[in-house]
Amino acid sequence: MHRLKRILLYASFTAAVLLVSLPEAGVAQVNMQQMPNYSTTRNRADVPAAVSNPDLRMVPEDFVKLKLAPGFLLSLNVLEDSDFAGTFRIDDLGDIIVPILGTVHVAGETAADARAQIKKRLLDEHFLNDPQVTLTVIEYTAPEVTIIGEVTSPGKYPLLVPHKLVEVLALAGGPALLAGNEVQIISNSKPAEPVLVHYSKGSDPQTIENVLVYPGDTVQVKRAGIVYVLGAVTRPGGYVMQEEGKLDVRQAISLANGTTIAASTGTIYLLRRNADGTEVDIALPFNKMLHGQRTDVQLQPTDVLYVPTSKIKAILTNSQTILSSAASASIYAAMY
């Protein structure tokens, strides 16, 4: 019995000591975590470098190909001679002025090309026999490409080096729902010579593999043409000439979910407005088109197809009235 009391007394004393020492251990742990250069993740193979070193910064993939331009800030260091070292801002002429060496034109070159040029001059002008040169870009202004028109997110996007047209369109989320099949590229260096590229969402990217967009260019995705189908059809409205920008009469009627029971399908009417503003009314033998007895007609943007009802089978409704209806019609972007 006395032995049991002694064991319990010893256990109580040990617990008290532990409770008193715990705060001391806690302080020691905090101090250890606050020690400089201490990291519990140091040298661990399963931890990414960015985690173990928060000072690392992300660099654009194309940074090594970036062309130097006015406004860039460069850091130059020559191992054998500190007289050439320093930081230099590229001026409006694209030059930096290096002590002793003088003016060096670097605009339009990559940092590696500019470094090689400086090294060559140090050799050619007999300043050093084997110069070890480093040139680093400290500050730079990222050139941009402007993407406008029928894209998901038009705007300006950084573009350090030339990229393929497909990749540039992807920056803006790709062509929007009302995008046509023409993309215009306006060069920053040749504003009088825009390039017109035929491209649509259904195109094979390989067909425009060699089309490049350069920093400073403007890319405009043009809107698709719209054809209006009115009169005795199930869903009258405007329909986008998507993908390859082609739409014939039968396809247009199909997009409008076909004709109604009251429709007079023997002859339908195509209203076309010419470039000079004049209007042309064309009677189309729709029934014969359906049965392959007449060639289908390819429609043009802003064309208006009108399907009359049986009550006015022989009467062409006034063109102005039809065009007014087209102006207020709903627009549909349907795939066919």
pLDDT tens-digit readout, 247-298: 899 999 999 999 988 888 899 999 998 878 788 889 999 999 988 888 899 8
Determine, yes or no, domain membership for 181. Answer: yes
What are the pLDDT digits (tens) for 30-43? 333 333 333 333 33
Same domain, 113 and 167: no
Which of 63-77, 122-136, 178-192 is predicted least confidently? 178-192
Percent of the chain's residues with pLDDT above 90: 32
Per-residue pLDDT, averaged over 97-110, amounts to: 91
Question: Could you tell me the residue range of the domain that residue 172 belongs to?
Answer: 144-223
For the cut 60, the answer to whether the pLDDT of residue 28 exceeds it is no
Q: Please state, for a pLDDT cut of 70, what percent of the chain lies above it.
A: 69
Residue 205 in this model has a pLDDT that exceeds 90: no
Q: In whole angstroms, how far apart are CA 313 and each of 207, 249, 250, 308?
A: 47, 19, 19, 6
Structure confidence at residue 190 (pLDDT): 65
| Domain's final residue, options 193, 223, 253 | 223
CATH number of the domain that residue 94 is part of: 3.30.1950.10
Structure tokens given for 171: 């920056």
- Whether residue 320 sits in one domain with residue 296: yes
Are 131 and 165 members of one domain?
no
pLDDT at 196: 87
Instruction: Give the chain's domain count.
Output: 3
- pLDDT reported for residue 306: 93
Check whether residue 94 and residue 149 sit in a common domain. Answer: no
Nearest to 115 by CA among 81, 77, 60, 141: 77
One domain for residues 200 and 296: no
Residues 259 and 182 in one domain: no
When pLDDT is averaged across residues 20-48 and rounded to a whole number, the result is 35
Report if residue 282 sits inside a domain: yes
- Ranking 49-63, 193-207, 261-275, 299-313 by mean pLDDT, the lowest is 49-63
* Mean pLDDT of the 222-247 span: 85
Q: Are 187 and 251 in the same domain?
A: no
Which segments of the chain does DSSP mark as H helices, in order? Answer: 2-33, 49-52, 111-124, 165-171, 249-255, 286-290, 319-327
Residue 134 within a domain: yes
260 and 238 inside one domain: yes
Q: Regarding predicted confidence, which is higher, 218 or 313?
A: 218
Residue range 8-19: average pLDDT?
45
Q: Which two tokens stand for residue 262?
A: 């009251």
Last residue of a domain, one of 139, 162, 179: 139
Mean pLDDT, all residues of the chain: 77
Is the pLDDT score of 327 beyond 60?
Answer: yes
Residue 314: the pLDDT is 42
Q: What is the value of pTM for the model shown?
A: 0.58
State yes or no: pLDDT of 140 exceeds 70: yes
Identify whether 58 is part of a domain. no
Together in a domain, 234 and 218: no
What CATH number does residue 150 fall under? 3.10.560.10
Looking at 159, 193, 223, which one is the last position of a domain?
Answer: 223
> Residue 147: which pLDDT band, with cuts at 50, 70 and 90?
very high
More confident site: 325 or 21: 325
Token duo for residue 256: 């409008």
Identify the pLDDT of residue 180.
83
Give residue 229's pLDDT: 94
d(CA 105, CA 127): 19
Q: Helices in 127-193 by DSSP H: which ranges?
A: 165-171
What CA–CA distance (Å, rounded) separates 162 from 216?
10
Same domain, 219 and 126: no
pLDDT grade, residue 66 (50/70/90)?
confident
